Amino acid sequence: MKTINLDYAAAAPVEPAVLEYMLPYFKEYYGNPSSGHSLGERPRKALEEAREKVGILLEAEPKNIIFTSSASESNNLAIKGLAASAKNKGNHIISSTIEHFSILNQLKTLQKNGYEVTLIPVDRHGFLSLDKLAEAIKDETILISIQTANPEIGTIQPVEKIAAIAREKGITFHTDATAAAGWIPLSVEKMGVDLLTLAGDQFYGPKGTGALFIRRGVRLTPLIEGGIQERGLRAGTENVALIAGMGEAARIASENIEQNSKVVAAQRDKLKESLLANVPHLHLNGHPEQRVPRNLNLSVEFVEGEALLMRLNMVGIHVSSGSSCTSQALKSSHVLSAIGVPPELAQGSLLFTLGKENIADDIPYITEQLGQVAGLLRNMSPLYHQYLKEAEKNAPVQ
């Protein structure tokens, strides 16, 4: 059976050229970049090259890039690191209700440790309320952390405006750009951010790679202490091969960003149109246009997401869902509830993230299968039967 991956956000294959690029760093150039002797030279150089390439992707100075193990780690270093180092300045942090759990969960921990947190609400498209943000700022505010784009509904925030508000008040601004990096052009200068998170696996680099841009002058307390690797901000021997791979993936992504985004967005739109035109009772979540090119989020009314996902999996289609039952948290997606999607619809949400591979030929199959699966599950859904009865009652008498 053919398999169609529409869950690239969860995992994407490493770009073949990236894999090739990494291999020598496992074999010939296995030296420790901190070594004083010549075995360390090439690995050390690889790190600096990777820094440059990630820097190009973000239009940032290479020396302001720190390598980590993941976007989650970068987010933790940014937030906990800043909170600890700025404790004498204040204890108030502002973020949004739709951030990733690697932000929200640490904010909860910080709250327990005496920090104050304000989460700014978003509108039905997922846009942050700038007014509420400005109102929330206090003398004690040390950090504002707002994502560049939402991984689930794709909405792209007006980061420049948020950064301007923060800058005016002298508050450090962090953005989690994990869902955006490699897919929309990013420039730390134009955006005006002080801290920016990304992960290599989101643009065909290896899993287990992350980076944090740290503007000069921003002081962070390290989470991992030990040696002086990564400017003393992250101790431990660097994962040279993987970092080199992330760098190479960043280079390829920055060269192709425009083309990739265009192609992927066109495919995403075709898929969206085909599904909406052929499968009844679908609802789009997030903003129709202002979203990451590869992201599509739909709610399939009257059915639940995990059941959909399992059925689609059986016919070779891999998607993800924000429903309770798949997140294993037994709650529906915090993002969908924050944008006001009613619980029954949030339960039936499907998240498609496309890759740059061509799926044009698969769209009829995906549409047909989703139609069948939805029909099958609706046939056993009490909500759907209720709906049919109501519709019948309200139908005009012939």
Partner 1 sequence: MPQYSDKVMDHFTNPRNIGEITDPDGVGEVGNPVCGDMMKFTIKVKDGRIEDVKYLTFGCGAAISVSSMVSEMAKGKTLEEALKITNKQVAEELGGLPGNKMHCSNLGADALHKAIEDYMEKNKIKAESGS
Does 314 contact partner 1 by CB under 8 A? yes
Q: Could you tell me how many residues of this chain bind ligand FES (CB under 6 A)?
A: 3
Contact, 352 vs 321, CB < 8 A? no
Q: How far apart are CA 341 and CA 283, in angstroms?
A: 10
**How many C-beta neighbours within 10 Å does residue 195 have?**
27
Find the farthest-apart pair of alpha carbons in the chain and give their distance in angstroms, rounded: 90
Name the catalytic one among 17, 130, 310, 325. Answer: 325
Q: How far apart are CA 79 and CA 75, in angstroms?
A: 6
Instruction: Return the residue nearest ligand FES (CB atom).
Output: 325
Does 344 contact partner 1 by CB under 8 A? yes
Binding part of the chain for partner 1, among 3-11, 92-100, 218-226, 323-331 by CB under 8 A, reads 323-331
* Distance linking the first and last C-alpha atoms of the chain: 47
Does 379 contact partner 1 by CB under 8 A? yes
Binding part of the chain for partner 1, among 7-15, 187-195, 267-275, 374-382 by CB under 8 A, reads 374-382
Q: How far apart are CA 231 and CA 371, in angstroms?
A: 54
| Least separation in angstroms between CB 354 and partner 1 | 20
Does 383 contact ligand FES by CB under 6 A? no
Among 347, 349, 353, 367, binds partner 1 (CB under 8 A): 347
Binding part of the chain for partner 1, among 22-30, 70-78, 305-313, 390-398 by CB under 8 A, reads 305-313
Q: How far apart are CA 180 and CA 391, in angstroms?
A: 42
Q: Which is nearer to partner 1, 9 or 253 (CB)?
A: 9
Q: What is the 3-state secondary structure (H, E, C) of 312-335?
A: HHHCCEECECCCHHHHCCCCCCHH
Does 75 contact ligand FES by CB under 6 A? no
Quick one: what does residue 191 bind among partner 1, ligand FES, none, with the CB cut-off 5 to 8 Å set by partner type?
none
Contact, 144 vs 162, CB < 8 A? yes
| Least separation in angstroms between CB 5 and ligand FES | 25
Q: Produce one character per residue of 255-264: b if its CB has 16 or more CB atoms within 10 Å, e if not.
A: eebeebbebb
Residue whose C-alpha is closest to residue 54's, from 177, 156, 225: 177
| Least separation in angstroms between CB 79 and partner 1 | 28
Residues in region 324-343 near ligand FES by CB under 6 A? 324-325, 330
Among 325, 363, 372, 387, binds partner 1 (CB under 8 A): 325
What is the CA angle 325-331-336, rounded to 5? 105
Does 141 contact ligand FES by CB under 6 A? no
Indicate if 340 belongs to the active site. Answer: no
Does 351 contact partner 1 by CB under 8 A? no
Q: How far apart are CA 373 and CA 135, in angstroms?
A: 47
Residue 352, strand partner residues: 296
Does 328 contact partner 1 by CB under 8 A? yes
Catalytically annotated residues:
325
Task: Note the residues at the interface with partner 1 (CB under 8 A).
Answer: 302-307, 309-310, 313-314, 323-326, 328, 330-332, 343-344, 347, 379-383, 385
Task: Note the residues at the interface with ligand FES (CB under 6 A).
Answer: 324-325, 330
